[in-house]
């Protein structure tokens, strides 16, 4: 059973460019969350997708957008890249379960984005 997979592993872009990162959730999971992790910091929540819609969003500008496909995979798009967007971008998947149970999130290995 494959866990969460992300592509590409590494990416180098220049300021002003646009980038698309991809994530395939763990088998059986229907919810995908994206996080940005700067060097030496904890991951910061960007947004979450469920049923192909953005369900929650963190404190990130509109340059950050996403999409979820019918097969639950997801893309993160970042427009007009800034130097400060250089970070490890993590995708996490979970399965929404009705009730009070904890929806454990499983993280992928991340995509290392470098903006020059």
Partner 1 sequence: LAKTTQPISMDSYEGQEVNITCSHNNIATNDYITWYQQFPSQGPRFIIQGYKTKVTNEVASLFIPADRKSSTLSLPRVSLSDTAVYYCLVGDPRDDKIIFGKGTRLHILP
11 sits near partner 1 (criterion: CB under 8 A): no
DSSP state letters, 8-59: -SEEEE-TT--EEEEEEPPTT--EEEEEEE-TTS--EEEEEEETTEEEEE-S
Judged by CB under 8 A, which stretch of 11-19, 41-49, 60-68, 77-85 contacts partner 1?
41-49
58 sits near partner 1 (criterion: CB under 8 A): yes
Strands 74-78 and 64-68: antiparallel
28 sits near partner 1 (criterion: CB under 8 A): no
Among 4, 21, 78, 115, binds partner 1 (CB under 8 A): 4
112 sits near partner 1 (criterion: CB under 8 A): yes
Contact 103, 96 (CB under 8 A): yes
Contact 66, 36 (CB under 8 A): no
- Footprint on this chain of partner 1 (rule: CB under 8 A): 4, 31, 33, 35, 40-45, 48, 55-56, 58, 88, 90-92, 94, 96, 100-110, 112
């Amino acid at each position: 059973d494959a866990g969460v997979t992300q592509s590409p592993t590494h990416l180098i872009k220049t300021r002003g460019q646009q980038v698309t990162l991809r994530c395939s959730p763990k088998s059986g999971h229907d919810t995908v969350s994206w996080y940005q992790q700067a060097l030496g910091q904890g991951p910061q929540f960007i947004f979450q997708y469920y049923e192909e819609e953005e369900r929650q969003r963190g404190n990130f500008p509109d340059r950050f957008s996403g999409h979820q496909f019918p097969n639950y995979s997801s893309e993160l798009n970042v427009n007009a890249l800034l130097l400060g967007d250089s970070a490890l971008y993590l995708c996490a998947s979970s399965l929404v379960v009705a009730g009070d149970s904890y929806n454990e999130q499983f993280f992928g290995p991340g995509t290392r984005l470098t903006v020059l």
